[in-house]
């Protein structure tokens, strides 16, 4: 017997590729890769720009703060120099031999004191060719009990040397809340002009204040 072979011709245009035989287009793949790379570079530039702006802002703020701080320190330094100059001038005009607790005596000026001696004023009287110094003080009992006032007034010359003293003549009890005035002449045992004073009470508290 003779074999009969049937050959079928297939038109190449009719051949269709299966889905698993498809291949990605290389040009499109390159474009997508370049697009993503460009986005990353733009994001990096944006982050760098933001970081640069923040850094500049911080440096600017620090510079402003430093300028303000330096200006404040310079002003403070100038003020301290002025105060130091004033203190040096006061020390230069202060007699080192005068005890610091002596207070300046200014006639006819009411000077506030402490303790139960509220204030004191000195007066000057010229009579018989001489000069007499008197004092007048005000006492006030702010404590809750009765006290017996005992006050002594000392006066000093410009060098801080004692030149006179006066005892308060009235030692009558002073009730709580009561106030009373007392006055007396100062016995000067050295004929010098008084410049400072000191008030002593029974409990030895200093009752003078500096005259301004």
Distance CA 113, CA 107 (A): 15
The per-residue pLDDT for range 181-211, each reduced to its tens digit, is 999 999 998 889 999 999 988 753 334 433 3
- Number of helices (H) and strands (E) in the chain: give both, helices first: 1, 9
Of the two residues 32 and 168, the one the predictor is more confident about is 168
Token readout for 22 is 């498809």
Of the two residues 210 and 33, the one the predictor is more confident about is 33
Judge whether 164 and 191 are in contact, CB under 8 Å.
no
Distance CA 168, CA 92 (A): 36
The per-residue pLDDT for range 132-146, each reduced to its tens digit, is 999 999 999 988 888
Mean pLDDT of the chain: 77
Domain ranges of the chain: 29-94, 103-200
Average pLDDT over residues 14-36: 56
pLDDT at 36: 67
10 Å Cβ neighbour count for 191? 9
Distance CA 162, CA 99 (A): 11
* Whether domain 103-200 has CATH 2.60.40.10: yes
Whether residue 121 has pLDDT greater than 80: yes
Give me the percent of the chain exceeding a pLDDT of 70: 67
Q: Is 204 helix (H, G, I), strand (E, B) or coil?
A: coil
CA 159 to chain CA mean position, Å: 37
Whether residue 4 has pLDDT greater than 60: no
Q: Is 200 helix (H, G, I), strand (E, B) or coil?
A: strand
Residue 174: closest CA among 207, 149, 203, 138: 149
């Amino acid at each position: 017997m003779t074999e009969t072979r049937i050959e079928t011709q297939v038109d190449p245009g009719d051949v269709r590729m299966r889905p698993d035989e498809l291949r990605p287009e290389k040009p499109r793949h390159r474009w997508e890769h370049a697009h993503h790379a460009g986005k990353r570079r733009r994001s990096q530039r944006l982050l760098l720009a933001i970081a640069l702006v923040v850094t500049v802002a911080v440096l600017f703020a620090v510079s402003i703060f430093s300028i303000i701080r330096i200006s404040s320190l310079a002003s403070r330094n100038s003020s301290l120099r002025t105060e130091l100059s004033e203190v040096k001038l006061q020390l230069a005009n202060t007699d080192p031999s005068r005890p610091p607790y002596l207070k300046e005596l200014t006639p006819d000026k009411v000077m506030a004191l402490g303790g139960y001696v509220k204030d004191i004023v000195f007066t000057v009287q010229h009579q018989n060719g001489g000069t007499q110094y008197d004092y007048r003080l005000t006492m006030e009992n702010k404590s809750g009990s009765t006290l017996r006032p005992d006050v002594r007034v000392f006066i000093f010359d410009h060098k801080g040397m004692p030149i006179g003293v006066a005892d308060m003549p009235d030692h009558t009890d002073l009730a709580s809340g009561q106030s009373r005035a007392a006055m007396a002449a100062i016995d000067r045992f050295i004929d010098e002009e008084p410049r400072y004073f000191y008030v002593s009470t029974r409990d030895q508290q200093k009752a003078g204040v500096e005259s301004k």
